[in-house]
Amino acid sequence: MGPAKAEKHVHGPGCKHDHGHDHGHDHAHDHGHGEKHVHGPGCSHGHDHDHGHGHAHAHEHGPGCDHDHDHGHHHHPKPKRIRPPGHRPAEGGGVALQLDLEGALPGETDDVGRFQKLEAALEAHRGVTEVHLRRDAGHAEVCIHYKPEVVSASQLLTAAQRTGAEVAERYKNQTWFVRGMESGDAATTIETGLGKLKGVLSASVAYASERLVVEYDSEEITLKDVEAKAKALGYALEVPMQGHACSHHAHGGGLGPKLEMPLVVVSGVLLVAGWLLERFTQLPALVPTLVWALSMATGGFFAIRGSVKSLFQLRIDIETMMVVAALGAAVLGAWFEGAFLLFLFGAGHALEHRAMDRARRSIESLGALRPEVARVRRGGDVVEVPVGEVQRGERIVVRPGDRVALDGIIREGRSSLEQAAITGESIPVPKKPGDEVFSGTINCEGMLEVEVTRLSSESVLARVVDMVAEAEAQKGPNQRFAQRLERTVAPLVMIGALVFPVVLILLGTPVKEAILRAVALLVAASPCALAISTPSAVLSAVAAAARGGVLVKGGIYLELLAKVNAIAFDKTGTLTVGRPKLLTTAPAEGVSREELLGTAASVEALSAHPLAKAVVEAAAEGGIHAPAGSDLEAIHGKGIRAKVGDAQVDVGNLALFEGQPVPADISAQVDRLEEAGQTTMVVRKAGRYLGVLGMADTLRPGARHVVHTLKDSGIERTVMLSGDNARVAKSIAAQVGLDEARAPLMPADKVTAVREMGRKGSVAMVGDGVNDAPALAAAAVGVAMGGAGSDAALETADVVLMSDDLSRLPFALGLARQATAVMQQNLVISLGISGILIIAAVFGLTQISHAVVLHEGSTLLVVANGLRLLAIRPQAMKAAPEPTVSVKPVAG
Ligand SMILES: Nc1ncnc2c1ncn2[C@@H]1O[C@H](COP(=O)(O)OP(=O)(O)OP(=O)(O)O)[C@@H](O)[C@H]1O
Ligand SMILES: [Zn+2]
């Protein structure tokens, strides 16, 4: 399967994009893809649908689903590609993404099967509403309709690649640090502004971690264009160093954060000075007024700068509202009030930025655990080299007590390593030659020589830090709600503040009082607290999770995980250790043990399945010669087939031999072993049944306790989905205390099972990310274990338990629930206080100064409430002693 290979098929610079015309006015949806549809009843596409049905949402954004290909067909050879929607969909609407495919091998006729596989995988993906497929001469296309709030284009591309589809390299995503965001509504401004650019698939801002993630079509738009647009909006973008959560000059560059506090202090001093001058001296009123004006200028420095910026773009944001309010007060002679407002606004924001910095630093500190230099063996010497310059394949030396500088494999030496940086576990893990070590972990005992396998920027730790820093950009329902509300609130408040005093004056209120009330209203209703209410919670929660060894890839997964009431578990590698051992060799009449095991091992040596390893190991241990096999064919969920010499060998469960007469003694043996809880493999060579092998895996220590804890915490349904035989599955499910076991399931059945469970509740699927990626993608939340050791787990899942420790699952769940609760509390606090203040302001029951204090107070309160989550740690799980062997051996 070739995501890697795929890149070679990408069209080069010479390849002109023939869909460049404005898709927007051209959705001639009449190519009648109805007749070419391969998908099932869910498809509502007629032949000349005018977008009135299933497609309707796609055409809210119209061009996204441009099914008119006539203009493109003369253009060959055609590259594989996914065509992006021509412009942004409306919020909550769907988006369509189009994947143009040409046969992997020109002239290959098996396309239909390949497409069906692709289509099945995509349709099973959460967030995908519809997939349709059509083929023309030499060119086929898949149109994917999806909900951008549930799944991102990149995730769909990854899912497509997993089926062997070749996805063009032109679709990329890029992350930047955003500089110049003074308040949370900047996120909305940037997202809307960039989202309008042609070629931008999605633009998402993580306000708290100051990041912007853009998915874009590199043929339609360049990074420079995006940067230029952001600049036009008033924000500077900066490409981050990998593995760093903070901007390299976040704490020094420009007029930013460094100046914030000093200016606020100056403003406060001037504010008090003005008051003292007015109160206790006989100086003309002009003097304190001037002092207060200066106080306004200093305290409101950033606000004024921001509002001038937005004024030029005819935008209204929080800063504008505050500055207008302050000026309004000043104009009426209430200089003290005006200065007090801007001083508190400045102070509130400076404090907010400081507090959020704490959360950012706690992510940054993970990355900071990576040493800056490595001791590299070069020639006969060991030299210190900056980690960025060390290449793959070089050998580094790690002394006891040192942190490992780069990811690699131990070539010499034994030791134990404390891997808390990655897995959150402080107990050292023993390691020997051949084992993997990670940058950032501590070598506790012996001297190690490590072969570097990843560049510093690609290390697991660097990737985790990046993913955590970007997590906030994948927004969940609460995050979206806050943002949407805030986007509508600001303009409404402005209008209200204009209309309100006019009404008051018409009703006979004195002009001055009317305006002061309007100012109070402006302050009361500006959505500062709302804007920071969810970012503070999400950033803190993902940071706390990361420190506990759980990578949460998006704020949305916190919210989804909090809602989960059913969990599906994969068996092998999840509930069991994933290292089955051969327990029984049952040769048929007249067959030797050597022949049975040797034949099986010849074939299994070609397979990477855990069961295969057990067979190969057992043969090697028994000193059994296994001639090399060839021409491996894996039959998913059933077994494998290969050639040994000239003979065809089949190894697998009974399903592999379905429809063929299996000798009675073989099936009796299978029965007997399964009865004893073993996984069986029938071996047949050149049509002759050689016998049966029985093997068993070990339960994961603590699995039972974890399942119990999950149930206690309110998970209503726990189900095992297994490819193994029903008896083994049931036995293991019973041992760990699951409600149900479903087996034997083919990989596609696991997806169906997850979807079915999803109709009754909200499902998390827990697996290893290797064989069960489609099931993980189908669940509301896909959780993979063992992220540190497996790229598949790290890349495919939504939530990754970095260690192989199931007990992190209840931790993740608990954290997600708390984070969601905090988000909701914050929404209530921010909306509640705003609401009360608005009413008070309308009825003239509050002074400006009180409104300002409460307003800034509520902002700081939601920030503090969010930061509480930073302190959550995984509970030390008492690993209760449990039976670890799940089967009784059976005499061969
Ligand atoms: N390499 C193989 N050799 C022999 N049998 C195999 C092989 N691969 C799969 N099988 C058979 O197919 C069954 C299902 O395999 P599959 O990979 O779908 O599930 P699994 O990963 O073993 O178990 P689970 O789904 O519970 O994690 C196995 O139990 C085995 O009987
Ligand atoms: Zn369509």
**Could you tell me the two tokens for 485?**
């509300």
Residue 887 CA to residue 890 CA, distance in Å, equals: 9
Return the ligand number nearest the Cα of 61: 2
Q: Which of 157-161, 493-497, 520-524, 750-754 has the highest mean pLDDT?
A: 750-754
Residue 412 CA to residue 388 CA, distance in Å, equals: 23
CATH code assigned at 669? 3.40.1110.10
Task: Kindly indicate the confidence band of residue 135, based on its pLDDT and cuts at 50, 70 and 90.
Answer: low
User: Do 146 and 293 share a domain, yes or no?
Assistant: no
Atom of ligand 1 nearest to the CA of 609: 1
Residue 164's region, left for phi above 0, alpha for psi from -120 to 50, else beta, is left
Cis status of the peptide bond prior to 13, with omega within 30 of 0: no
Give pLDDT, residue 167: 62
In a domain, 775, yes or no: no
C-beta of 361 in contact with ligand 1 (< 6 A): no
Helix axes 555-563, 528-547, angle to 10 degrees: 80
User: Do 154 and 46 share a domain, yes or no?
Assistant: yes
Give pLDDT, residue 168: 59
Q: Last residue of a domain, which of 141, 169, 197?
A: 169
Residue 418 CA to residue 694 CA, distance in Å, equals: 37
Q: What are phi and psi of 443, to 5 degrees?
A: -80, 115
Residue 247 CA to residue 250 CA, distance in Å, equals: 5
- Nearest CA, atom 26, ligand 1: 722
C-beta of 640 in contact with ligand 1 (< 6 A): yes
CB 688 within 8 A of CB 647: no
Residue 600 CA to residue 605 CA, distance in Å, equals: 8
Task: Kindly indicate the confidence band of residue 695, based on its pLDDT and cuts at 50, 70 and 90.
Answer: very high
In a domain, 317, yes or no: yes
Bridge partners for 650 per DSSP? 641, 684
- Nearest CA, atom 15, ligand 1: 637
User: Do 515 and 601 share a domain, yes or no?
Assistant: no
C-alpha separations of 541 from 533, 791, 813 in Å: 13, 24, 11
Give how many domains the chain has, as a whole number.
4
Element at 39 (helix H, strand E): none
pLDDT score of 819 more than 80: yes
CA angle 553, 479, 188 (to 5 degrees): 105
Atom of ligand 1 nearest to the CA of 724: 29
CA of 299 to the centre of ligand 1 (A): 67
Residue 721 CA to residue 570 CA, distance in Å, equals: 5
C-alpha separations of 661 from 291, 590, 634, 670, 683 in Å: 99, 19, 21, 14, 14
Bridge partners for 141 per DSSP? 100, 134
Testing ligand 1's pocket by substitution, the residue of 581, 609, 765 carrying the most ligand atoms inside 8 A of its CB is 609
pLDDT score of 75 more than 50: no
C-alpha separations of 19 from 63, 101, 194, 572 in Å: 11, 15, 21, 46
Return the ligand number nearest the Cα of 680: 1
How many Cβ atoms from other residues are within 10 Å of residue 646's Cβ?
A: 6
Residue 678 CA to residue 667 CA, distance in Å, equals: 14
Q: What are phi and psi of 39, to 5 degrees?
A: -85, 165
pLDDT score of 89 more than 90: no
Testing ligand 1's pocket by substitution, the residue of 638, 730, 736 carrying the most ligand atoms inside 8 A of its CB is 638
How many Cβ atoms from other residues are within 10 Å of residue 200's Cβ?
A: 23
pLDDT score of 239 more than 60: yes
CA of 170 to the centre of ligand 2 (A): 21
- Nearest CA, atom 8, ligand 1: 639
Residue 686 CA to residue 684 CA, distance in Å, equals: 7
**Could you tell me the two tokens for 806?**
């199931």
Residue 141 CA to residue 36 CA, distance in Å, equals: 11
Bridge partners for 384 per DSSP? 375
**Residue 278 or 116, more confident:** 278
Task: Kindly indicate the confidence band of residue 248, based on its pLDDT and cuts at 50, 70 and 90.
Answer: very low
- Nearest CA, atom 7, ligand 1: 639
Entry pTM: 0.82
CA of 27 to the centre of ligand 2 (A): 10
Q: Tell the residue number behind the tokens 């189908």, with chain if given.
A: 778
User: Do 388 and 523 share a domain, yes or no?
Assistant: no
Residue 576 three-state SS: strand
Element at 761 (helix H, strand E): none
In a domain, 280, yes or no: yes
Q: Last residue of a domain, which of 428, 458, 488?
A: 458
Helix axes 593-604, 610-621, angle to 10 degrees: 130
Overall average pLDDT of the 779-794 stretch: 88
Residue 855 CA to residue 843 CA, distance in Å, equals: 17
Per the document, the length of the chain is 892
Supply the ipTM of this predicted assembly: 0.96
Q: Which amino acid is present at 184?
A: G
Q: Last residue of a domain, which of 169, 184, 205?
A: 169
C-beta of 723 in contact with ligand 1 (< 6 A): yes
- E strands within 118-199? 128-136, 139-146, 171-179
User: Do 67 and 131 share a domain, yes or no?
Assistant: yes
Residue 723 CA to residue 726 CA, distance in Å, equals: 9
Q: What is the largest CA-CA distance in the chain?
A: 118
Average pLDDT, the chain: 81
C-beta of 576 in contact with ligand 1 (< 6 A): no
Give pLDDT, residue 134: 60
User: Do 527 and 413 share a domain, yes or no?
Assistant: no
The string of pLDDT tens digits covering residues 425-454 is 888 999 999 999 999 999 999 999 999 999
- Nearest CA, atom 31, ligand 1: 653
Residue 224 CA to residue 173 CA, distance in Å, equals: 13
What is the C-alpha R_g of the chain? 31
In a domain, 136, yes or no: yes
In a domain, 780, yes or no: no
Sequence-distant (≥ 6) Cβ neighbours of residue 392 within 8 angstroms: 452, 453, 454, 455
Strands 781-785 and 550-552: unpaired
Return the ligand number nearest the Cα of 99: 2
Overall average pLDDT of the 564-574 stretch: 93
CATH code assigned at 18? 3.30.70.100
Q: What percent of the chain has pLDDT over 70?
A: 82
User: Do 150 and 77 share a domain, yes or no?
Assistant: yes
C-beta of 320 in contact with ligand 1 (< 6 A): no
Return the ligand number nearest the Cα of 83: 2
Nearest by Cα to 823 from 538, 550, 562: 538
In a domain, 345, yes or no: yes
C-beta of 722 in contact with ligand 1 (< 6 A): yes
- Nearest CA, atom 29, ligand 1: 724
Sequence-distant (≥ 6) Cβ neighbours of residue 232 within 8 angstroms: 193, 313
Residue 739 CA to residue 730 CA, distance in Å, equals: 10
The string of pLDDT tens digits covering residues 591-604 is 999 999 999 999 99
- Nearest CA, atom 17, ligand 1: 637
Q: Tell the residue number behind the tokens 């064919």, with chain if given.
A: 633
User: Do 48 and 156 share a domain, yes or no?
Assistant: yes
Give pLDDT, residue 243: 67
CA of 138 to the centre of ligand 2 (A): 20
CB 131 within 8 A of CB 94: no
**Residue 185 or 447, more confident:** 447
C-beta of 638 in contact with ligand 1 (< 6 A): yes
Give pLDDT, residue 105: 30
In a domain, 742, yes or no: no
Query: Is residue 435 among the annotated active site residues?
Result: no
- Nearest CA, atom 28, ligand 1: 724
Return the ligand number nearest the Cα of 59: 2
Residue 276's region, left for phi above 0, alpha for psi from -120 to 50, else beta, is alpha
> Helices marked H in 418-554 — which ranges?
420-423, 460-470, 477-506, 511-525, 528-547
Give pLDDT, residue 358: 84
C-alpha separations of 343 from 118, 259, 273, 852 in Å: 58, 14, 13, 10
pLDDT score of 665 more than 80: yes
User: Do 348 and 497 share a domain, yes or no?
Assistant: yes
pLDDT score of 251 more than 60: no
User: Do 42 and 149 share a domain, yes or no?
Assistant: yes
Q: How many CA atoms does the CB half-sphere of 400 hold within 13 Å?
A: 8
CB 670 within 8 A of CB 652: no
Q: How many H helices and E strands in the chain?
A: 27, 30
Please identify which of the residues 100, 185, 570, 724 carries the catalytic annotation: 570
- Nearest CA, atom 27, ligand 1: 572
Where in the sequence is the domain holding 517, given as residue range(s)? 259-363+470-539+819-871
Nearest by Cα to 184 from 525, 472, 530: 530
The string of pLDDT tens digits covering residues 376-397 is 998 888 999 999 999 999 999 9
User: Do 7 and 132 share a domain, yes or no?
Assistant: yes
C-beta of 578 in contact with ligand 1 (< 6 A): no
> Helices marked H in 196-235 — which ranges?
223-233
Nearest by Cα to 724 from 745, 755, 693, 739: 745
C-alpha separations of 424 from 76, 593, 687, 788, 794 in Å: 53, 46, 52, 11, 16
Nearest by Cα to 451 from 418, 406, 415, 417: 406
Overall average pLDDT of the 307-314 stretch: 81
pLDDT score of 884 more than 70: no
Q: Which amino acid is present at 876?
A: A
CA of 723 to the centre of ligand 1 (A): 6
C-alpha separations of 356 from 141, 245, 311, 565 in Å: 45, 12, 27, 32
CA of 64 to the centre of ligand 2 (A): 8
Q: Specify the range with the lowest mean pLDDT, choosing from 524-528, 859-863, 868-872.
A: 524-528
C-beta of 653 in contact with ligand 1 (< 6 A): yes
Testing ligand 1's pocket by substitution, the residue of 576, 582, 611 carrying the most ligand atoms inside 8 A of its CB is 611
Bridge partners for 630 per DSSP? 643
CA of 103 to the centre of ligand 2 (A): 21
DSSP structure string for 229-243: HHHHHT-EEEPPPTT
User: Do 18 and 124 share a domain, yes or no?
Assistant: yes
Give pLDDT, residue 657: 92
In a domain, 765, yes or no: no
